[in-house]
C-alpha cells in the first residue's frame, strides 16, 4: 500500500511540474542585462547568446518605479564609466517585442555593480522597474557569417548618448560606447570598419562621429565589450 501511495505521489508531482513548465513559452528565463545611462535616461541591453532562449538582441528604455531611487541610480551611472548589470526575475523576453499581445510593462530586478554572474555586488535588490520603450528587438540568426562593417545604433537623444553595436555576425562581439554631442545632433546610425572580432579604437569612433554626426562630438569610452557569449 505504501509503495502504491509513493507511485501515486510521484506521478502527481511529475504531472504538476510538467504543467508548471508548459505554462511558460520558449523564451522564458533569466535574461541578464547590461545597465547604462545618465540623468537623461536609463537603458538596458540584453546580454545575448546564439541559443534559445537568449538569442535576442533587445534594448529597452526603463526607469525605477520609485522616483527617488531612479534619480539616485541615474546619478551613479553618470558619475563614471563602470560596468553595471541587471539580474531580472524570470520572464518571457518575447513579451518585450513591439506589438506583443501581452507586453511586459514592469518587472523586478537586482541591480549589480559589476557582472551579476562574475562576482558583481548587488547594490539594489528586487527593484521594481518600468519598461518605458522597446528601442531594439531582433532575434539573432545562428548561421556562421562575417560582415566587414559594424553598424552602431545611437541610444539616447540628449547630450550624453551611447553607441550600441548591432549583432549581425557569428562569431561577433557585444559593444557599447559612451559619447557626447550637442543636444540637437543627428540620430543617424554609425558604420565602422570591422576587422574580425576587434572593436575600432576610440580615435576611429571620434573621426566617424565628427564627420557623420556632429563635428563637436567627443568619445567618453567603452562601457561594455564582450566576445565570449557570441561564438
Give the pLDDT score at 24: 84
Q: Compute the distance between CA of residue 78 and CA of residue 213 in angstroms, rounded to an integer.
A: 22
Question: Which one-letter DSSP state was computed for residue 14?
Answer: H
Q: Compute the distance between CA of residue 197 and CA of residue 223 in angstroms, rounded to an integer.
A: 17
Q: Is the peptide bond before 149 cis (omega within 30 degrees of 0)?
A: no
Q: Which domain holds residue 121?
A: 25-140
* Tens-digit pLDDT profile for residues 135-174: 999 999 999 999 999 999 999 989 999 999 999 999 999 9
Q: Compute the distance between CA of residue 50 and CA of residue 57 in angstroms, rounded to an integer.
A: 10
Does residue 169 lie within any of the structural domains?
Answer: yes
Classify strands 56-64 and 33-38 as parallel, antiparallel or unpaired. Answer: unpaired
Give the pLDDT score at 18: 42
Q: In terms of domains, do 57 and 36 share one?
A: yes
Q: In terms of domains, do 123 and 93 share one?
A: yes
Does residue 97 lie within any of the structural domains?
Answer: yes
Q: For the chain, what is the domain count?
A: 2
* Tens-digit pLDDT profile for residues 2-53: 444 444 444 444 444 444 445 789 999 999 999 999 999 999 999 999 999 9
* Tens-digit pLDDT profile for residues 112-135: 999 999 999 999 999 999 999 999
Q: In terms of domains, do 30 and 134 share one?
A: yes
Q: Compute the distance between CA of residue 177 and CA of residue 168 in angstroms, rounded to an integer.
A: 17
* Tens-digit pLDDT profile for residues 5-14: 444 444 444 4
Does residue 82 lie within any of the structural domains?
Answer: yes
Cell 572580432 belongs to residue: 197
Q: Which of 46, 206, 53 lies closest to 131 in space, CA to CA? A: 46
Does residue 37 lie within any of the structural domains?
Answer: yes
Whole-number average pLDDT of the chain: 91
* Tens-digit pLDDT profile for residues 82-113: 999 999 999 999 999 999 999 999 999 999 99
Task: Report the pLDDT averaged over residues 58-75.
Answer: 98
Q: In terms of domains, do 46 and 65 share one?
A: yes
Q: Which of 96, 104, 99, 92 lies closest to 52 in space, CA to CA? A: 92
Give the pLDDT score at 6: 47
User: Which of 78, 105, 140 finishes a domain?
Assistant: 140
Q: In terms of domains, do 133 and 148 share one?
A: no
Does residue 16 lie within any of the structural domains?
Answer: no
User: Which of 140, 175, 192 finishes a domain?
Assistant: 140
User: Which of 113, 140, 167 finishes a domain?
Assistant: 140
Within 10 angstroms of residue 191's Cβ, the number of other Cβ atoms is: 12
Q: In terms of domains, do 150 and 132 share one?
A: no
Amino acid at each position: 500500500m505504501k509503495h502504491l501511495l509513493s507511485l501515486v505521489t510521484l506521478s502527481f508531482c511529475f504531472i504538476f511540474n510538467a504543467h508548471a513548465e508548459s505554462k511558460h513559452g520558449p523564451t522564458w528565463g533569466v535574461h541578464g542585462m547590461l545597465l547604462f545611462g545618465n540623468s537623461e535616461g536609463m537603458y538596458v541591453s540584453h546580454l545575448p547568446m546564439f541559443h534559445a532562449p537568449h538569442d535576442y538582441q533587445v534594448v529597452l528604455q526603463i526607469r525605477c518605479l520609485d522616483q527617488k531611487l531612479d534619480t539616485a541610480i541615474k546619478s551613479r551611472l553618470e558619475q563614471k564609466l563602470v560596468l553595471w548589470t541587471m539580474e531580472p526575475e524570470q520572464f518571457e523576453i518575447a513579451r518585450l517585442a513591439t506589438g506583443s499581445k501581452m507586453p511586459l510593462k514592469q518587472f523586478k530586478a537586482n541591480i549589480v555593480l559589476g557582472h551579476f554572474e562574475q562576482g558583481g555586488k548587488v547594490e539594489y535588490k528586487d527593484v521594481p522597474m518600468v519598461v518605458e520603450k522597446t528601442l531594439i528587438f531582433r532575434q539573432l540568426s545562428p548561421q556562421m557569417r562575417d560582415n566587414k562593417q559594424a553598424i552602431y545604433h545611437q541610444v539616447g537623444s540628449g547630450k550624453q548618448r551611447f553607441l550600441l553595436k548591432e549583432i549581425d555576425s557569428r562569431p561577433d562581439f557585444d559593444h557599447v560606447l559612451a559619447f557626447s554631442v550637442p543636444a540637437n545632433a543627428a540620430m543617424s546610425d554609425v558604420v565602422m570598419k570591422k576587422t574580425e572580432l576587434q572593436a575600432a579604437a576610440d580615435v576611429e569612433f571620434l573621426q566617424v562621429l565628427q564627420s557623420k554626426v556632429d563635428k563637436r562630438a567627443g568619445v567618453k569610452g567603452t562601457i561594455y565589450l564582450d566576445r565570449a557569449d557570441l561564438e
